[in-house]
Amino acid sequence: MKRTLTILFAALCVVSASAKVICGAERVDEWKGLLEGQRVALLANHTATVGDKHLLDKMLEEGVKVVAVVAPEHGFRGKADAGEHINSTIDQKTGTPIWSLYSAKSRKLTPEQVAQFDVVVVDMQDVGLRFYTYYISMLSVMNSAAEGGKRVVVFDRPNPNGMYVDGPILDMKYKSGVGALPIPVVHGLTMGEIAKMAVGEGWCKACKLEVVTCKNYTHQTRYSLPIAPSPNLRSMQAIYLYPSTCLFEGTVCSLGRGTEHPFEVYGHPNIKSDFSFTPRSIAGAKYPPLRDKVCYGVDLRTIPHEEIIANGFNLEYIIDAYRKVGVGEAFFTSFFEKLVGVDYIRKMIIEGRSATEIRAMWQSDVEKFKVLRRKYLLYKE
């Protein structure tokens, strides 16, 4: 009998481990009642899908009154360059107004826009990094909704980097459009969990918040994204490397923008290497760093996923490039601190300190954050 129960338990574990993740947007019966009779604004982009349909189309099909779509960085269709100005427009398929948060410097909804809806639904595929801007757009809309007394409903999606927490916590003197909260670089939270934490910790204005959770997801689930979340994150390799290679945005190096493998390589004309690539002006990277210049460097495309995850927020790549480019402090730009969130990392790299020595600087802060984070988790660690 005991052996039979053990076999049954093992079988159940296999079924559970292989069960398909069901995202919040797919749980139509869960959200229909929340939106019935309401004027809805939808903060979403191309990743907000329900099966083979966009969430906007599914909502309209279900009789939801969608008064406007709110578009984050890269636009509603997800094709614009990083930080590119995007005008508000009309969705050609449905005739729904699109309010772009990237049409003005404030990146906020106006009181006139807020007056037009009763509830804002948030559905965007995040990748779990402090400098990935979708959560910042969500916080902006949550603040606007709070000011207008409106509800916020987050349709949650898995965090593909949600299996660990790592990196320095943002020193708020470096708060910017690529870092809005005192959280680590790799925060280990879904969008729904970030929203809960922001309200709970007073990091945004208190609003009426609800989350439609995912089913069959834990923070250890290896969730492969069905759609590229932004123009230059085109593969799971790039998404797993992104916490570490995005730091090259704050240096004189290229991380492969303008090639077929952004965030999966790094290089510079000064580096001596057999591997090379040449950034070009292409869709999603109109003006890439070191455009039309041959860059020599390192190809990260064959590193196993589990090795990347095990190495976490990895400064080895930046340290390697700093030493090989050979221009001293001129290697870094002022954007580096906005990305990394603290001032000591640049200094320690220049001093010749190792990645292990630098990592020790943030470890105790990360452990404290993990304790705080547990209050807001919607899924098992």
pLDDT in tens, 87-120: 668 888 889 999 988 876 668 999 999 999 999 9
Residue 77: per-residue pLDDT: 63
Helix (H, G, I), strand (E, B) or coil at 22: strand
**Residue 18 binned pLDDT confidence (cut-offs 50, 70, 90):** low
Residue where a domain terminates, one of 172, 190, 225? 225
Q: Are residues 212 and 275 both part of a single domain? A: no
216 lies in some domain = yes
248 is in which domain, residue-wise? Answer: 236-350
CB 33 within 8 A of CB 64: no
371 lies in some domain = no
pLDDT tens for 49-81 read: 999 999 999 999 999 999 999 988 766 764 444
d(CA 100, CA 72): 7
CB 268 within 8 A of CB 253: yes
CATH number at residue 118: 3.40.50.12170
Q: Average pLDDT of the chain?
A: 92
Q: Are residues 170 and 290 both part of a single domain? A: no
323 lies in some domain = yes
> Is the per-residue pLDDT at 83 higher than 50?
no
pLDDT tens for 332-367 read: 999 999 999 999 999 999 999 999 999 999 999 999
Q: Are residues 199 and 284 both part of a single domain? A: no
> Is the per-residue pLDDT at 13 higher than 50?
no
Residue 187: per-residue pLDDT: 98
213 lies in some domain = yes
Residue where a domain terminates, one of 181, 196, 225? 225
- What DSSP string describes 339-353? HH--SHHHHHHHTT-
Q: Are residues 127 and 198 both part of a single domain? A: yes
Average pLDDT over residues 148-168: 98
Greater confidence (239 vs 78) lies with 239
Q: What is residue 189's DSSP assignment? A: -
> Is the per-residue pLDDT at 272 higher than 50?
yes
Average pLDDT over residues 205-224: 98
364 lies in some domain = no
d(CA 322, CA 327): 8
d(CA 132, CA 130): 6
Neighbours of 236 (CB within 10 A): 15
Q: Are residues 110 and 131 both part of a single domain? A: yes
34 lies in some domain = yes
Residue 80: per-residue pLDDT: 43
d(CA 147, CA 16): 42
Q: Are residues 97 and 181 both part of a single domain? A: yes
d(CA 359, CA 166): 9
Torsion of CA 113, 116, 121, 124, to 10 degrees: -30
Domain count within the chain: 2
Q: Are residues 219 and 256 both part of a single domain? A: no
Q: Are residues 48 and 109 both part of a single domain? A: yes
pLDDT tens for 175-194 read: 999 999 999 999 999 999 99
Residue where a domain terminates, one of 183, 198, 225? 225
The count of residues in the chain is 381
> Is the per-residue pLDDT at 11 higher than 70?
no
> Is the per-residue pLDDT at 252 higher than 70?
yes
Residue in the block written with tokens 């965030």: 263
Q: Are residues 160 and 274 both part of a single domain? A: no
Q: What is residue 264's DSSP assignment? A: S
373 lies in some domain = no
Average pLDDT over residues 289-303: 98
Q: Are residues 209 and 293 both part of a single domain? A: no
Residue 106: per-residue pLDDT: 65
Residue 46: per-residue pLDDT: 93
Residue 9: per-residue pLDDT: 33
CB 239 within 8 A of CB 225: yes
Q: Are residues 37 and 176 both part of a single domain? A: yes
Q: Are residues 219 and 241 both part of a single domain? A: no
368 lies in some domain = no
Average pLDDT over residues 19-31: 97
> Is the per-residue pLDDT at 203 higher than 50?
yes
